[in-house]
Amino acid sequence: MKYKRVLLKLSGEFMSGNGFGIQPEATKALAQEVAKAHQLGVQVAIVVGGGNFWRGARQGVGMDRASADYIGMLATIMNALALQDALEFIGVPTRVQTALTIQQVAEPYIRRRAIRHLEKGRVVIFGGGTGNPFVTTDTAAALRGLEMNVDAVLMAKNKVDGVYNDDPRKNPEAKKFDILTYHQALVQGLQVMDATAMALCQEQNMPIVVFDMFTEGNLEKIIKGERVGTLVHS
């Protein structure tokens, strides 16, 4: 097994079937892929976005930026609870920890407790981003990955199997990269994660794997060390 502990970054759209809100079938399919990885014995932490409910850049136009970002954090918590439910329905023990305190439905984020959950074989889902406005869930994924001492941050994409020099859905001539350095990704402006998150990973030499989550078995293959998607490292 190449990776013993990973941080999986998911966008909210995975749970909506590319629509709005939460679609049970899409969420179940996502949970099944996570469950397969969990069954290998790998420790899985997850950061989930909230774009299926709220996109501050579009819906928050004219609003105070901090207020719009807090709404987005609440959206990620809704997704975290829904994913927890889907995982536990198929027998995967799961805990949700949130950067915003909502103790009636989730634990507050406590680093040592989260690590202990992972050590006990529980999937840990982090909701609420970092708890700070002006910070993306990409940065939350990088930060939580570093705090959890994971072996890699896995950036899940929908129907895009890695990092390209252009959008492969619009340009059939787009070139896929199998391996990139952090510097190449930043200088070329490639869509790996936002610049702040990338800088965090680069500083701490945290490997990033960008892959297509909904190609069945991809998550398992990455954990076993098979070449899938694009690896970004030093």
Which residues define the annotated binding site for UMP? 50, 69, 130-137
Q: At what angle do helices 137-147 and 195-204 cross, to 10 degrees?
A: 20
- Residues annotated within the binding site are 9-12, 50-51, 55, 69, 130-137, 158, 164, 167
Give the CA distances from residue 89 to residues 36, 44, 69, 212, in Å, rounded to whole numbers and listed in that order.
14, 17, 31, 24
Domain layout of the chain by residue ranges: 5-233
Class for the domain spanning 5-233: alpha beta
- Positions at the binding site for ATP: 9-12, 51, 55, 158, 164, 167
Q: What is the pLDDT of residues 115-166, one digit of tens each?
A: 999 999 999 999 999 999 999 999 999 999 999 999 999 999 877 888 998 8
Model confidence, pTM: 0.94
Alpha helices in the chain (DSSP H): 24-39, 56-59, 65-89, 111-119, 137-147, 182-187, 195-204, 218-224
The vertex-210 CA angle with 127 and 94, nearest 5°, equals 30
Q: Report pLDDT digits (tens) over 81-120.
A: 999 999 999 999 999 999 999 999 999 999 999 999 999 9
